[in-house]
Structure 1
Amino acid sequence: MNNSQSPPIATDSATKPKKKSLGQKEIKIPFLDSGKPKTFKTKALIQFYRGVASMLRAQINTADALKYYADGLPDKVMADALIEIKEDIQAGISVYDAFKRSKRFDDMTLGLVKAGMDSGKLDTAFSDLAERAQTNMKFKKQLRKIVLIPSFVFPALICAFIYSQARIVPQIKEMVVTGDYEPQGPVRFFFTLSDFVIKWWPLGIAILIAIVVSFVVSNKLRQGVLVLAMSKIQILRKLIQGFRQVTFLGVIKLLHSNGINMAKAIRTSATAVKGTPYEAELLRAADQYEKAGVPLAIAFTKYTSVDAQVVHMMAIGEKSASMSTQLDMLVEMYEIDCDQYMEDFTNILNFFVMGGAVSLVAFVFLSVFMPVFLMGPEMMQQAM
């Protein structure tokens, strides 16, 4: 079998200290460092998944596949991590536990590795991981393309706005507010705004920096913002739920098609969506299905928040003994839907980002030139 493990060669190798290559000491920043090893870059992971999958399909055992891939790998940190995993496997530790001990892989990777072990098709699991990572990287690239320019433009525009309100507008105000002239309408508004910005801009910048830093550092805050955004933005909710559903459905499909009972397949699929609401829901549904004898479709209906389409197709698969076919169809359907949701969401985000940038530019322009254009007519009207 292509995912077979090499026999143990050293019974104490699992307890010996891990070695690090020379020159690979990681620089840690106390404020930002979480004490955990960093996961690898997505592009490197895609290449790793594909490379290992091809070797496993060629009947090379897992430990040797990791050794061959690590040999000569330019990324020495990744090479060292793979060698450590290989040594753990050779010491008798399961592939799943060896990957988990490295702390270099996310929950989805660990869940699919476990699914591959249980099904006897570890090569398929790594191929699926490559596809999932490719999709995630595509989505991240689209978001990065949209966000990159505004991330430079907005700070520059904010600085320009503060400078115009704190330096330019006060000079204009000093020149024109003489004698009995009292600014009215828009002119008065912009002069008042200038006074407000001069008084409060340091505090505003400090609050903005604190929000950005908190968002970067705090995972709970990011998750809270994500939940709030999902509750307000339907297309984002569909996109994220689609990604999660295609992930656990892919695990269930992989296991069920290789003779693993449905309850165990569902429990393993919960590992692939760890940290999301689906994790607890899937575990509860599996318990009700196995221990209470609740039909699969009813268990998913009562104890999970999956789409109605998932429940419907599972009910068909359960009644007609075609569960594998229905799972294949669901995975393919959600992959297509996710691509469409991704395109729609990036288009909407691009529209709002560009709209915000244009609005801020227009406001900076108006705050500087509007008082100049309107002062003359106002002064003439007050003089009459």
Structure 2
Amino acid sequence: MAYFQYKARNNKGALISGNLEAVNLDAAASELLGLGYTPIDIKAARGRTPDSDRDSVAKKTQARSRTAAGSKPGRVDFNADAFQALNAALKKRKITLDDQIIFARQMQSLTKAGMPLDRALKGLQASNKNPSFQAVLKQIQQSLESGQTLSTALGHHPKIFSTLFISLVDVGENTGRLDMAFEQIVRYLELEKNTRKQVKSATRYPSFVLVTIAVALGVITYFVIPAFADTFARLGAELPFETRLLIGISDFVVNWWPFLLGGGATLILTFKAWARSDKGGLAWDEKKRFLPLAGGVIEKVALARFARTFSMILKAGVPIVHGMGIVASTVGNRFIAKRVIKMREGISRGETLYNTAVNAGMFSPLVLQMIAVGEESGTIDQLMEDVAEFYDAEVQYELKRMGEAIEPVLIMVIAGMVLILALGVFLPIWDLSAAARN
């Protein structure tokens, strides 16, 4: 077997190059033709022979099997490999929305400048700081070099690139305006990032307070109340009902805390598994819309995503029936996604967008009126963008209202906790003090 360097053209006419192993020149050409490539130039690779590869592998094996000075021959030192594996694990991090935004913005600039996609991806690999995303970019580049389109290459990574991302890239490739597609993607991702940031900002304070309250209750129940219970037991005083209740709860927690933690973890894991299932997730997404305070935010965030995505799909020229399927996969709520699919089915039967929106039962009268005006005037894409801005404003208002409503609730919870502890712990002390004075 020998190694050959080749240049060929794929079924799209793009020039590709690489190395392959074959018995002879004719076998190499046959293998390329079998892959769907048209050979242009094939020549033996210099310095690449099986013998030299075997020597190289042997040298690498010997280098890995060397030990530190003074160690016995033949003993393998795994320290270097272990440190390398640990270093790679520490550097590996999740691909975030920021990574996608930077990638889309860079691709917009590079495609607008007319740079070939394979060269653009090579440059992005060198400049990217996330090793996980570097590996993804390398796989995308390899898919391009094998003759696949960019949208197909991105489709191999559905956990990273959404259906909307891939569909807009596909439209950009077919229309020759890939830079405009990436510009739309950047705008969408930045709006999505802003929405997530607003939601996290509104829930950060109450989450911190609730966690602090839970930790404080745990410490008081497990450490503080048992100490008071021992003191009261030695004094033999008659305890009020509040104190006996607190001591009973504390004894139960101290004796059964492993089972309580295990049961709580089991309930959480069971609920998550149920929420990830199709039937359970659909039911949970429907009930989430009616949660106190947070339900309105959840529903309006999903509707804002629907309107924004639908507007982008229409502006990109995607057929409305196909676009509805893309929109349904991006709203982030399976119940609303099911309503969107029903709207698509109504449109495919010839119904108007306004009628399907009315039958969906998830839009306010103002939004329905805007949809009707947009459909009649032929500016539905612009009107849906206005609907998205309307829902974005509603989300900001709901988040502000939720923050204002949560603060007094948390204050009441803290006040109630302090009152219960005061009645349960300090009342016996006051009774003992009064008895001692008498």
* TM-score scaled by length of structure 1: 0.75
Distance 1:133 1:226 in 2: 21
Residue 137 of structure 2 corresponds to residue 82 of structure 1: yes
C-alpha displacement at 1:8, in angstroms? Answer: 6.7
Report if aligned partners of 1:246, 1:331 keep a CA contact under 8 Å in 2: yes
Q: Is 1:42 matched up with 2:94?
A: no
- AA aligned to 1:326 is L
Q: Which letter does structure 1 place at the counterpart of 2:235?
A: V
Change (3 A) 1:373 1:226: farther
Per-residue deviation, 1:62: 4.8
Counterpart of 2:300 in structure 1 is 242
Q: Quick one: distance in 2 between partners of 1:316 and 1:91?
A: 47
1:285–1:304 CA contact under 8 A, matched in 2: no
Instruction: Give the drift of 1:163.
Output: 1.8
Q: Partners in 1 of 2:360 and 2:340 — Cα distance?
A: 8
- Cα displacement (A) at 1:77: 1.2
Identify which of 236, 248, 253 aligns with 2:311.
253
Structure 2 CA distance, aligned partners of 1:365 and 1:159? 16
* CA deviation after TM superposition for structure 1 residue 81, in Å: 0.8
CA shift in 2, pair 1:170/1:73, >3 Å:
same
Q: Secondary structure at the match of 1:232?
A: coil
Q: Read off the aligned partner of 2:233 and give its amino acid letter.
A: E
8 Å contact from structure 2 (residues 305, 330) kept in 1: yes
> Where does residue 117 of structure 1 map in the other structure?
170
Kindly indicate whether the alpha-carbon contact (under 8 Å) linking 1:50 and 1:130 is maintained by their aligned counterparts in 2: no
Q: Does the C-alpha gap of structure 1 residues 187 and 315 become closer, same or farther in structure 2, counting only changes over 3 Å?
A: same
Partner Cα distance (1:79, 1:369) in 2: 62
| Residue of 215, 221, 231 corresponding to 1:155 | 215
Name the Cα RMSD after superposition: 3.8
1:63–1:139 distance in 2 versus 1, CA, 3 Å? farther
1 CA distance for matches of 2:121 and 2:197? 23
Which runs of 5 or more residues in structure 2 are unaligned?
1-11, 18-31, 37-83
Deviations 1:229-265 (A, max 9, x none): 43232x4222222222222222221232244333233
Task: State the aligned residue count.
Answer: 353
Q: How many angstroms apart in 1 are the aligned matches of 2:288 and 2:224?
A: 33
Amino acid paired to 1:265:
G
- Partner residue, 2:372: 315
Matched, 1:269 2:269: no
Which segment is superposed worse, 39-48 or 168-177? Answer: 39-48
Unaligned runs of 5+ in 1: 14-21, 29-36
SS of residue matched to 1:9? strand
Instruction: Compare relative contact order (CA 8 Å, sep 6+) and give the higher one, 1 or 2.
Output: 1
The verdict on how the C-alpha distance between 1:146 and 1:259 changes in structure 2, with shifts beyond 3 A counting, is: same
Contact 2:94 2:132 in 1 (8 A): no
Structure-1 residue corresponding to 2:70: none
Deviation at 1:319, TM superposition (A): 1.8
| Cα offsets for 1:89-146 (capped at 9, x unmatched) | 343334333223124416xx33233134336542233211232123313422443454
1:187 Cα deviation (Å)?
Answer: 4.3
Return the letter of the residue paired with 2:264.
Answer: L
Max radius of gyration: which structure? 2
More strand by share: 2
State how far apart, in whole Å, the 2-side matches of 1:254 and 1:348 are.
35
For 1:87 and 1:258, locate their aligned partners in 2 and report how far apart those are by CA, in whole Å: 27
Q: Distance in 1 between matches of 2:412 and 2:123?
A: 51
**What letter matches 1:9 in structure 2?**
I
Secondary structure at the aligned position of 1:231 is classed as coil
By how many angstroms is 1:327 displaced? Answer: 1.6
Q: Go from structure 1 to structure 2 and tell me whether the alpha carbon gap of 1:42 and 1:256 turns closer, same or farther (over 3 Å shift).
A: closer
TM value normalised by structure 2: 0.67
Q: Give the Cα separation in 1 of the matches to 2:88 and 2:273.
A: 19
Native 8 Å contact 2:151 2:167 kept in 1: yes
Query: SS state of the match for residue 431, structure 2?
Result: helix
Show the counterpart of 1:139: 199
